[in-house]
Amino acid sequence: MSYPLLNRELGILAFNERVLAQAADPETPLLERLRFICIVSSNLDEFFEIRVAGLKEQMRDNPGVLTQDGMTHLQVYTQVSQQAQSLVSRQYAMLSDTLLPLLEKEGIFFHGADGWNDAQRQWAKEVFLQELMPVLTPIGLDPAHPFPRVLNKSLNFAVELEGKDAFGRDAELAIVQAPRSLPRLVAMPAALSGHPYGYVLLSSLMQCFVGELFPNLTTKGCHQFRVTRNSELFVDEDEITNLRTALQGELPARHLGDAVRIEVDANTPGRLIRRLQIECGLSDADCYRVKGPVNLVRLMQLPDMVDRPDLKFLPHVPALPKRLANTSVIFDAIDQGDILLHHPYDSFQPVLELLLQAARDPAVVAIKQTIYRTGNESALMDALMEAARNGKEVTVVVELLARFDEETNINWAAQLEAVGAHVVYGVVGHKCHAKMLLIVRRTQTGKQVRLKRYVHLGTGNYHPRTARFYSDFGLMTANEAMCRDVHLVFQQLTGIGGQITLSHLWQSPFTLHTALLEAIRFEARAAEAGKKARIIAKMNALLEPSVIAELYKASKAGVKIDLIVRGVCALQPGVPGLSENISVRSIVGRFLEHHRIYYFHAGGTEQVYLSSADWMDRNFFRRIEVAFPVLDKKLKARVIREGLMVHLRDNQSSWIMQSDGRYQRRRHGKRLYNSQKALLAELCGE
């Protein structure tokens, strides 16, 4: 039996609608509202680079195939285009009509060229001549210089010209690409600006002084545009013999993939827009005419440039678990019992400190870790390299195909190998997304010396920067059975062998999917027998059809199901006779809700699993993932309270999904309750 499913692409756009609502909310600090505007642009960039690019390929290669929601790819694309155009239009209107006037009242002002006085114009010209002009390369278009294939997401200017150049050629059009090294936002001296924080956009400088690049020609117009390209990498995993070498050869092509979107200034003449569309092979539906900068992502730097703490979220100091605060040796603290870290409320420093102590402890003989995303600069990676230099047996499973982090991970892999660490790239055809750290240490009890394992498992990446903004759980444990499971998974990743049997972990692509289905069915059978049954699950996305089908069946059996899905959800809640016992909500707030938590009543035993796996096809079947149980009763209660119940209670940053896929903000009750603010107060004392 087939069940109704909602569209993935439209669900992603709906999520960005919720993010944009944060920018519209007057209760959000002003500079944070600007940051949310920029986050929408960043999200849309990836949406077009991957999802829309894939949709266009499906329209070309499989025009008659229906998507899981029953629409053709063309129908999906049409709706996506309409909703994306509407979203972008409201985003820019909010910026220009609401945020910029509010920022000006606070002394933060963007100086447009049409408002410069003589002194400001002279300053701007000097900036252009000294800082911009030396690195700009104008490309005049003629038979010998065809339209350039501009780089993905680069800022470009189409310059309309008139006159003859030094060679007697008619000058009509030139393209100038702004190098990524150039700042998109230039601070004007306060004395000259008349505002405490005055800024000039790079586009304003270009539009005013671009004629300096074309001496003795008349500049008729300068119009900014930006092209988004297909950024999916095409690596044939069946043919390659060296994944790193293959990726290094493929990465440069990412910037030159097929165009999928063009953004232009709304004041660009229609004839020029048509020319740009033809050169890029795009239609009107792919063209986004915006009233403002074509790349709002680069405005993300503004809140950090402005020293106005009153216009930002109050900084918070992550807490440190008491047991870790009272001991200098983390291994001793873990020996006393499992330790739960709830980021960003709890500090990520203990994870780094655990690795640093392992690197320097003579008793530690081996360290094994998975790396998916960790950033260009990482003290954690430095610790791994220090461990290798100190003679530890260091093995790192680096996922080279972590989207948009491929180059960073290639660089780290090379550095790790240079100091003697074993670097493994996982399993061809399966991204290694599990977050695992295993440390093997000699311990002595009396005269007996033995090797003991210590493990850290997490729901988020080993990335100290994102750990300040993403909500995730991490578990430190020396539980022998759990550590043995992690050891076996590493053995499987680095070696060759048959399928393994694990005591506690559910693992993709082997047991996670089937174990999850069985846990859902167990609750359904309990409900049918008149017993208490409950499922609560939190994740980033819910798309896998067979899991959705089992949730529908469990709902019909009478199981109360609460789903907290931050992003896209294909399940339809509240449908009579199908899913009236299922609620779906999305929490969008200061922090990115990132942890995945699976709760089952399980006949009163209350099983709680943590994981980095969303309920998606790729996580179940095309990735190496683990879900690990929280065995300690006190820690389990913490996960239930801090990770689930607070969000079910939230009536300020919670959005409730309707049966047709639309979301309504939940704001009612005598007292507003914000789950993230409540956790900051409880865990950080703020």
Positions at the binding site: 43, 373, 403, 470, 566, 594
Helices of type H across 341-497: 349-360, 379-389, 406-418, 480-494
Distance of CA 112 to the CA centre of its chain: 33
Alpha carbon distance 248, 466 (integer Å): 26
Alpha carbon distance 342, 163 (integer Å): 65
Cβ–Cβ < 8 Å for 585, 594: no
Residue type, 685: G
Radius of gyration of the chain (CA): 27
Alpha carbon distance 515, 507 (integer Å): 9
Residues 654-664 as b or e (16 or more Cβ within 10 Å = b): bbbbebebebe
Cβ–Cβ < 8 Å for 47, 41: no
Catalytic residue among 73, 342, 430, 433: 433
* Residue in 85, 63, 70 with CA at minimum distance from that of residue 7: 70
* Residues placed in the known binding site for Mg(2+): 373, 403
Alpha carbon distance 231, 229 (integer Å): 6
Helices of type H across 390-536: 406-418, 480-494, 512-528
Helices of type H across 609-664: 617-621, 633-638, 646-649
Alpha carbon distance 117, 137 (integer Å): 29
* Residues placed in the known binding site for ATP: 43, 470, 566, 594
Answer yes or no: 430 catalytic: no
Beta strands in 251-392 (DSSP E): 259-265, 287-290, 339-343, 364-371
Residues 553, 434, 482: CA angle, nearest 5 degrees: 85
Q: What is the DSSP string of 224-260?
A: EEEEEE-------TTT-S-HHHHHHHHGGGGGGS-EE
Taken in order 37, 40, 44, 50, the sign of the CA dihedral is: positive
DSSP strand pairing (197-201 vs 108-110): parallel
HSE-up of residue 37 (Cα within 13 Å, Cβ side) = 33
- Both tokens of 179, joined, read 């190098």
What is the number of other CB atoms lying within 10 angstroms of the CB of residue 143?
A: 6
Catalytic residue IDs:
433
